[in-house]
Amino acid sequence: MHQKLLSCLALAVALSQLLMPANGVSYEVDRHNVSELVDSHELVLLLFYSNRCKYSRQLMPIYESAASQLHSRLGGTGNLALGKVDCDREPEMESHYDIGKYPTIKIVRNKYVNKKEYRGQRSVEAIVSFALEELLDPIQEFVSLNELHDLNTQKYLVIGHYERNSHEEYMAYRRAASNMKDHCQFHVKFTEASGPNSLTFQEHLNHTESLSLFTGNMSSQEELMKWFTMKCIPIVRELTFSNAEELTEEGRLFVILFHNPQDKKSPTDFKRVVRTELMDEVEKVIFLTADGILFASPLLHMNKTEADLPFIAIDSFAHMYPFPEFEDLYKPGKLREFVKQLHTGDLHWNYHFSEFMNSIDDDEDDIAVPSLLPPASKFIELRPSKHRYTFARDEL
């Protein structure tokens, strides 16, 4: 018995040493202690770096200062930890966390690795502000549904009814909601003795067609996450300058509707056609709507202006292909055919065909061959910049 107690104490000391912050600020994380760190904190920021990367070296003192400030504010509450992973020493972790560039700051919340990365300013103030905001309660409490009618939000709604905030099922709801708060707005009403706990989803309060009741295991964070992912992430997303870099890293081509921000009809119709005809493409294609005024540059790149809105185009990250006529959206199968042409190579073939035709010296009849060459991709420019990152696949 005495020997077992000594063994347990030795293990506890070893684990505490593994989790000692480097310089009393941030944790040196490796494959041996990462699970212990993640399991013991609600939110963990993990900086993946290489000492051979100049951007990593520039960020390191900023990251350490942010960790120091956060430690001073929060202390050892177990809510937040900042860690750093040396990818030169931990190639297995680099691969496991799908690191393609240095430095990358991954967000791990309630043991779940968020697809979202930290992409804000590389300053102490920005990192501190981001971390504190991430710790805010993701669920807003309400007393009456009338309170929700006044919400000014573009996000879908998840509404929970729970007996109390200490209930195991509510804690699972909170953990899952914290990872999906960028996509949905979460609410709760606490009412004792009101029957079983429940969760419902709606695109908005007046949209009864989208009303859906969660029927899975209310205590399972994993099942809740799957349901939230399915419900909260729209089939057609809005493209903004703040999410463009993140979207490009998903590695799927864009099908974009550019529209005037005052035009509400064309986005609605575009979403309806995508839902009706192109649901089998969502694994290969990201369907987007974009403010054609804000994104004027890609339009000009295709010789289009505000007067040409609404306008649909594919960006394959090699070229941009314009959908011939917007009104063809209303012809069944036309948009689907356009997307399929990229998969079959027809759009790409037209590119090479135009190059071949334009290379022919047609002296006999001197007939000009119109160029079918599509403009180069514009959104490839919104991918992570080499002026901010060193790419892992490149030589350092």
CB 60, CB 22: distance < 8 Å: no
CA separation for the pair 244, 351 (Å, rounded) = 26
Residue of 12 and 348 predicted with greater confidence:
348
CA distances from 257 to 197, 283, 388 (A): 40, 18, 29
Ranges 153-157, 274-278, 365-369, most confident: 274-278
Identify the band that residue 1 occupies on the pLDDT scale cut at 50, 70 and 90.
Answer: very low
pLDDT in tens, 25-76: 799 999 999 999 999 999 999 999 999 999 999 999 999 999 999 999 987 6
The pLDDT of residue 146 is: 85
Residue of 214 and 23 predicted with greater confidence:
214
Identify the band that residue 15 occupies on the pLDDT scale cut at 50, 70 and 90.
Answer: very low
CA separation for the pair 259, 293 (Å, rounded) = 8
pLDDT in tens, 171-189: 999 999 999 998 999 999 9
Phi-psi region of 21 (alpha: psi -120 to 50; beta: other; left: phi over 0): beta
CA distances from 86 to 31, 98, 102, 108 (A): 11, 14, 10, 17
∠ CA 132-138-139 to the nearest 5 degrees?
A: 145
- Residue 295 clears pLDDT 50, i.e. is over it: yes
CA separation for the pair 146, 205 (Å, rounded) = 10
- Which residues are within 8 A (CB) of 60 and not within 5 positions of it... i.e. 6 or more apart? 49, 84
The pLDDT of residue 12 is: 40
- Residue 368 clears pLDDT 70, i.e. is over it: no
pLDDT in tens, 243-289: 999 999 888 999 999 999 999 999 999 999 999 999 999 989 999 99
The pLDDT of residue 116 is: 87
Residue-range domains of the chain with CATH: 2-134 (3.40.30.10), 139-232 (3.40.30.10), 236-351+378-382 (3.40.30.10)
The pLDDT of residue 199 is: 97
CB 98, CB 163: distance < 8 Å: no
The pairing of strands 80-86 and 43-49 is parallel
- Residue 395 clears pLDDT 90, i.e. is over it: no
Token look-up 């729970």 returns 162
∠ CA 380-381-382 to the nearest 5 degrees?
A: 90
The pLDDT of residue 9 is: 40
Q: What is the pTM of this model?
A: 0.81
Closest CA to 369 of 349, 379, 355: 355
Long-range contacts of 141-149 (CB under 8 A, 24+ apart): 141/187, 141/188, 141/189, 141/190, 142/187, 142/188, 142/189, 143/189, 145/205, 148/187, 148/205, 149/205
Average pLDDT over residues 327-349: 88
